[in-house]
Amino acid sequence: ENFCHSQLSSRKFAAVSLPSMTSTDPFEAHSWQIALSLIGVVFSASLAVGSGVGGGSFFLALYILLLGLDSHYAIPLSKATIFGVSIAAFLVNCFRRHPHAKHRPVIDFELTALMQPIVLVGTMVGVLLNILFPNYLVLIPLVLLLGYTTYKTYLKGKTLAAKEHAAIAKEREAAKAREEAEHDKSTLLPQTPPSLQEANSNSSNNTSNGSLSVNLLSADTPEAAQLRAMLREQDSRKFQKMPMLFLGVMWGLFILGVCLLYTIKSIPRCGVAWAFIFVITSLVMIAISFVFGRHAHARTQLKLACDFEFAPGEVQWNARNVITYPAMFFVVGLAASMLGVGGGLLSGPLMLRLGVDPSVSAATSSFMIIFTASASTVQYALLGRVDPLFGFYGGLAGFAGGYAGQILISNYVQRKRKQSILVFLLAGITLFSAIAIITVQGATGELKNTAFHSAQVCAS
């Protein structure tokens, strides 16, 4: 009887215990585990997408802890899911406008075209390092970086929230003052003649505009006005031609290079020809970023020359930051591919540090994730590490959650008129991601694995 009881208890324990976390096939899990993981993807995507984060750390935890996948196979599925989230975010954001400059789209296509080629170079390297390195070599620096990023993003949110509260209080005081003034006029003062009202209005407008704007208008020329109108028209396009052209060329050349690297059997991996294609593809991406950087720099100089009014948070490109900013984003692509995160965990806070508006940062980061996640997914698929059917299910669940979350969170922020909500949400998700990464890596025992896998990198 005791023997039967012990056998029954062990069976019950086995039924509810966590998976082994060494599986390479997501369909080896029970149906309820698969369903629960996809429901978790929908919920996680809706929460993450509003702040411009792909949600990779959420999906990674779900696939490892619920489906029992080995982390080296959970990461590719995470990238496929992130791709679905980013597509949903783009379909919503492409119709939205800049919160402070309604003539501009909320996505900064110029920033994307300059950064994305370098991010893809980091993606290429990150995919290989994911296979080669034991996770502890990147886990500890990444968690420290996420912790520092959380702290700086939180401080940014506090500063922005204080400004928003001050602006709202100022608007309320101004509205109250106008009401009292109108009441005093109607009860105590005689009506001001219309001609005098018009003169006072003109005087008030000139004062509020400031002497600088009056001087600029008086010194204006038809050529400068025409140039400003042309630049404004270019900025107002939903899909800006030059950045989209560069992004299209970049994407086509990158996919061509990746296909040459991983599909032609006559080119042995890690051989001279393979390394040559890898280096050439990387150099082409760097060249595209460099050429567009010169274009962005020239366009900024043109705007400065004609006294163009920059949108709040718009990056003014110069000879220095067209080099330093892309170099920073190389780390974003590297870490995103290596640990299965969408890249928004690092690119979003980085954009905020560069002074980009929170709404623009979230939308642009989501747009950039399309390229990062799809590039990683293609590479992992060519390496045979993505289950096509489950990748489709995960991407579909990510799309559904991302679409719902993007609409709900965007509408809430617009209604409350508080961009700081996005910043605090990003800080919270970044902190949670750092904790989730440590938890998952500890549960899978990856921190104890100190072996390198060079044979797997070069295996055809």
For the beta carbon of residue 156, count every other beta carbon within 10 angstroms: 19
Distance, in Å, from the CA atom of 429 to the CA atom of 52, rounded to the nearest integer, reads: 10
Tell me the two tokens of residue 13: 């324990």
What is the reported pLDDT for 121?
Answer: 92
Give the distance from CA 133 to its chain's centroid.
25
**256 SS3 class:** helix
Contact in structure between 337 and 123 (CB atoms under 8 Å): yes
User: Taking Cα atoms as reference points, which of 385, 423, 450 lies closest to residue 140?
Assistant: 450
* 405-440 pLDDT per residue, tens: 878 877 777 777 777 777 787 788 778 777 876 776
Q: How far apart are CA 181 and CA 216, in angstroms?
A: 33
DSSP state of 318: -
Helix orientation angle between 136-187 and 344-353, rounded to the nearest 10 degrees: 50
Q: What is the rounded distance in angstroms from the CA atom of residue 103 to the CA atom of residue 255?
A: 34
Q: What is the pLDDT of residue 242?
A: 85
Give bridge partners of residue 69 from the DSSP assignment. 23
What confidence score (pLDDT) does residue 217 get? 37
Of 278, 323, 300, 264, residue with least CA distance to 460:
264
Tell me how far apart the alpha carbons of residues 313 and 326 are, in angstroms, rounded to a whole number.
Answer: 18
Burial of 172: CB neighbours in 10 Å, binned 0-12, 13-18, 19+:
exposed
Nearest CA among 107, 21, 110, 118 for reference residue 64: 21
Q: What is the pLDDT of residue 87?
A: 92
pTM higher than 0.85: no
DSSP letter for 17, please: S
Question: Please, are residues 370 and 91 in contact by the beta-carbon 8 Å criterion?
Answer: no
pLDDT at 277: 92
CA atoms within 13 A on the CB side of 274: 15
**Cβ neighbours of residue 11 under 8 Å, at least 6 residues apart?**
none
How would you write the pLDDT of the chain (460 residues) with one tens digit per residue? 444 444 444 444 344 444 555 667 788 888 898 899 999 899 888 877 766 777 777 787 788 778 888 777 888 888 889 899 989 988 888 888 888 888 888 899 999 999 999 999 988 888 788 777 776 775 676 677 778 778 877 887 888 888 888 888 888 888 888 887 776 666 654 544 444 344 344 433 333 333 333 334 334 688 888 888 888 888 888 778 888 889 999 999 999 998 888 888 778 877 899 999 999 999 999 999 999 999 999 999 999 888 888 888 888 999 898 999 999 899 888 877 776 565 777 788 888 888 888 888 888 988 988 888 888 888 888 878 788 889 899 999 999 998 988 788 777 777 777 777 777 877 887 787 778 767 766 666 666 666 666 666 676 5
Close Cβ partners of 71 (under 8 Å, ≥ 6 residues apart):
21, 60, 64, 135, 340, 440, 441, 444, 446
Per-residue confidence (pLDDT) for residue 443, from 0 to 100: 64
**Termini Cα distance of the chain:** 55
